[in-house]
Amino acid sequence: MYKFICQKINGDIAHDFVLATKHAVDFMNWFENRNIYEIDYIEHINELDGIEDNKTIPVGTVEFVESFYKRFYGIELMPINIPLELLDYAQRNVWYGDETQEIDRELFCKSNSKVKGFTGIVKKGTILDKGEYLFSDIIDIESEWRCFVYRGQLLGIHNYINSLSHYPDVGVVREMVNKYKKLDAYTLDIGVNDKGTFIIEIHDFYSCGLYGFRDYQKILYMTIASHNQKIRRRD
């Protein structure tokens, strides 16, 4: 039986992924008419003395989940950003480098060595902290969408910034999904402008905003798949 260890902050559920997991566990146990999943709440990972098996899964902020995998499995979670196989869908120049990159114009820059690390526009002459980074030209984005992918299937596309009138080309999204096979469960963030549909970045399926995605069965399956894949990669 899988057990979800969910984070509370100051005694409250403060993360939508935690709330969705709670509803999903309640729904699936009701649907099956038996308890097939367990859920418990803590505020800090150090409240756990240990875990009984590989079926204990953390749900909460990035920091909460990172602490769990580092403490119990020695796993350092890393960002994905734009995988090399999807660079052709970026619609802009994208490259990877480090703090030695010369910044000779305004660029978009994002950490490639820390989840939720530095993200922003850097200006000419900016000095970066030591680390690995994604760099790209700045591009106009009319609307942004989050796609939910589970074992090669596109389950949903939800808007999270800007106009609903600029809907993505689903055919292009499916092409991306067909080319990216490394994760069993992930979100694919895409943008739309007058030139078409393009990739923004990919996230492993944990600690991510759901923006209205409420397939409770698939939320649990995706969370479990993401967890199991982390453990397999470690082994």
pLDDT at 235 over 80: no
**Residues 127-130: contacts with CB under 8 Å, at least 24 apart:** 127/99, 128/98, 128/99, 128/101, 128/103, 129/99, 130/98, 130/99
Using left for φ > 0, alpha for ψ between -120 and 50, and beta otherwise, residue 222 falls in alpha
Query: Rounded to an integer, what distance in angstroms lies between the CA atom of residue 67 and that of residue 52?
Result: 17
Average pLDDT value over all residues in the chain: 95
pLDDT at 80 over 80: yes
**pLDDT tens per residue across span 139-167:** 999 999 999 999 999 999 999 988 788 89
**pLDDT tens per residue across span 169-221:** 999 999 999 999 999 999 999 999 999 999 999 999 999 999 999 999 999 99
Confidence at residue 162, expressed as pLDDT on a 0 to 100 scale: 81
| Residue 103 identity | I
Question: Phi then psi for 171, rounded to 5 degrees?
Answer: -60, -40
Among residues 136, 129, 138, 121, the alpha carbon closest in space to that of 100 is found at: 129
Record the tokens describing residue 138, joined without a space.
């700045």
Q: Is the pTM of this model over 0.85?
A: yes
